Amino acid sequence: MGKVEAEFRVLAIDYGKRRVGFAISDPSGKVAFPLETLDLKKEDIFSRIGKIYSEKPFRKVVLGKPPRKELLFDVYFLACFLKVRYKSEVIFWDEEYTSKEAEEMLKGMGIRINKKNKHLIDSLSAYIILREYLGYGPPL
């Protein structure tokens, strides 16, 4: 039963210039959870996705489509990689205000944003993207 459940997981990615936020759904593909943030200066995104896949296999990826045009090539390249390597369906999702919403969520929890915890914004942004998709997306 575990293998069947794993096939319904959905991964969300908030791709940025310095950091990448990840969120994942539960095995049923109905509930979103912030997962982690990757510092692109310290680790390769492709190997990190491989680690995530080995621990929590996913069948779909919701990829935030950044408002900054200079990141679009990287995002489209990542989408092609995900489709080929993991045979995943890739859905692009508007991420325009997710970082601001993530900041507000943290402030609402009483967390002041500084250099040490700024990475929380990225995983929360991915969570927001995934939460929106699961709420508005087609039935899994």
Tracing tokens 């990448």 back to the chain, one arrives at 20
pTM, entire model: 0.86
Strand 60-65 and strand 10-15: pairing? Answer: parallel
pLDDT of residue 2: 47
Tracing tokens 């982690």 back to the chain, one arrives at 36
Specify the 3-state DSSP secondary structure of 57: coil
pLDDT of residue 136: 64
Beta bridge partners of 122: none
Percentage of the chain modeled with pLDDT above 90: 63
Reported as a single tens digit per residue, the pLDDT across 90-136 is 999 988 888 888 878 878 888 888 777 778 889 999 999 999 999 86
Q: Give the count of domains, the chain.
A: 1
CATH of the domain at 19: 3.30.420.140
Beta carbons within 8 Å of 27's beta carbon, 6+ residues apart: 5, 6, 8, 9
Domain that holds residue 24: 2-136
* pLDDT above 80 for 1: no
Contact 107, 79 (CB under 8 A): no
* pLDDT above 80 for 4: no
CA–CA distance, 140 with 134 (Å, rounded to integer): 9
Tracing tokens 């759904």 back to the chain, one arrives at 25
- Greater model confidence, 82 or 106: 82
CA–CA distance, 12 with 29 (Å, rounded to integer): 12
CA–CA distance, 87 with 108 (Å, rounded to integer): 38
pLDDT of residue 6: 44
